[in-house]
Amino acid sequence: MSSVRTDTSLIASKIPRYVYVAGVSVVTLGLIAIYMVIHPQKEKIQIPIAEVRYGTVYPYVTVTGTIVDQDIVSISSSAGGQIAKWMVHVGSRVKAGQILAYFSNYSINQEIYEDLRKKYIEAQEIVADDQREEALLEAEQNAANLNAVTSGSRRDNQQLIGQSEQLHSNGLQSPAQEEVQQDQNAINLLSAEEATLQAEQAAIEAKLDMLTALQSLRNSELTSPVNGEITSLQVPAGAQLSPYQEACTLISTTSTDAHAKVVATINAQDVSRVHVGEHVDISSPDISGSFTGTVELISPFAVNQSQLSDYQYQVYIEINHASPQMLNGMSVNCSIYTSPIRHAVIVPADAVMVNNGQLGVYVRDSSGRFKFTPVKILSSDALNVQVQGVKVGMAVATKRPQE
């Protein structure tokens, strides 16, 4: 049996070289295409950045308040106590400063005040007596000084040998006697001045004691701050009234304004940032549009509402232009703009992000990579955040980079 042998080298020698190159290229491109399908290249995303810089922050405190009618006045006592007797009833017309009720300690406080007032009057009389004595001694000293000058001139005109005897016969003192008298007058005047000072100090102390007693006496009275008509008595006679507890209410007839105000509570850690006269933005879902106001009063006395661990303070906000939509008792949101913080280290609000429960920013390094850096927030407004933990000039991302 015969066999047929094929010489492959002979066949290969007859294939052109360019066919080999084309075949290799096709295979290479195919492999690249397969790799691109299996491993698609991620599109490079441009991360917007901002620079850490110095700037001004306009921080604000957000609180929730209640609209109240300005004409409805709530009356309370800063000291509190047991109400001994009401001097008015519902419907009574009262004037500003009129006593509405007495507390049980009124009588004893009145006795203490009257006693200290008498002591103050006596102290004033002693001061007046000492001042008159001091003025008299001062006049005597001035007269003695003038007499010494006159006597000296007269002695200069004496031409007799028996000078001392002649001076004595003329009723004049010798120079030594005059000097002793002047020294004694000076001592007497200094003693009088010291007595006057002591009397004035005693009078000042007596006045302070009297004023303290007067304040205690005023605290044992409940008075009306404005003209008006009593609408309710919240605490009956004989009952205990707590400090700043509402004792009664009245409708004011003093003011003709129809303005409303907001009463809000602010946390103890924020109250030091708020000041009278600061601007307030007021809004509510129940009111169309937004309104502005001004901080009118910050109560210096803390209250504890809703059994919170931190004390709160009441803030009274005057509404600049009230709307008929604002009804008594309506809840509103208030943003109180506090004092600007200048030359603060700030970043845009968008740059502050959360990573693993921490607040921080993504800082770009020299290689262009972003690293999360925790920061401490000191204050903020709608646009910027005052931070601690980064340096001015650093570049931070305002959009979260891909991890």
**pLDDT tens for each residue of 172-194:** 555 666 666 666 777 777 887 88
* Cα 315 from Cα 300, distance rounded (Å): 10
pLDDT score of 45: 67
Collapsing DSSP to helix, strand or coil, 142 comes out as helix
Between residues 146 and 396, the one the model is more confident about: 396
Domains in the chain, ordered, with CATH? 49-57+342-397 (2.40.420.20), 61-69+255-337 (2.40.30.170)
Instruction: Count the neighbouring beta carbons within 10 Å of the beta carbon of residue 303.
Output: 13
pLDDT score of 226: 85
Copy the structure tokens of residue 342. Answer: 């200048």
Between residues 32 and 120, the one the model is more confident about: 120
Distance between terminal CA atoms of the chain?
74
Model-level pTM greater than 0.85?
no
Q: What is the DSSP letter of 280?
A: E
Number of residues in the chain: 403
The answer to whether residue 42 scores a pLDDT higher than 90 is no
Backbone φ/ψ region at 81: left (φ over 0), alpha (ψ -120 to 50), beta: left
Sign of CA dihedral 270, 275, 276, 281: negative
pLDDT score of 40: 57
Cβ density class 265-301: b for 16+ within 10 Å, e for less: bbeeebbeebeeebebebebeebeeebebbbeebbee
**Residue 386's pLDDT band (cuts 50, 70, 90):** very high
pLDDT tens per residue, range 7-28: 545 445 555 665 666 666 666 7
- Contact yes or no for 121/210 (Cβ under 8 A): no
Least confident of 55-59, 206-210, 319-323: 319-323
Overall average pLDDT of the 301-327 stretch:
73
The answer to whether residue 5 scores a pLDDT higher than 60 is no
Mean pLDDT of the chain: 81
Between residues 372 and 34, the one the model is more confident about: 372
**Residue 68's pLDDT band (cuts 50, 70, 90):** confident
* Cα 379 from Cα 324, distance rounded (Å): 35
State which H helix or E strand residue 268 sits in: helix 268-271
Between residues 204 and 19, the one the model is more confident about: 204
pLDDT tens per residue, range 80-120: 899 999 999 988 889 988 999 999 999 999 999 999 999 99
Tokens 């006679």 found at: 237
Sign of CA dihedral 312, 316, 320, 325: positive
pLDDT score of 4: 47
- Contact yes or no for 347/387 (Cβ under 8 A): yes
3-state DSSP helix/strand/coil % of the chain, to nearest 5: 35, 35, 35
Percent of the chain past pLDDT 90, that is, above it, reads 37
* CA angle 291–292–293, rounded 5-degree value: 135
Least confident of 108-122, 182-196, 281-295, 383-397: 182-196
- Contact yes or no for 198/119 (Cβ under 8 A): no
Bridge-based pairing state of the strands 246-252 and 228-233: antiparallel
- Contact yes or no for 295/274 (Cβ under 8 A): yes
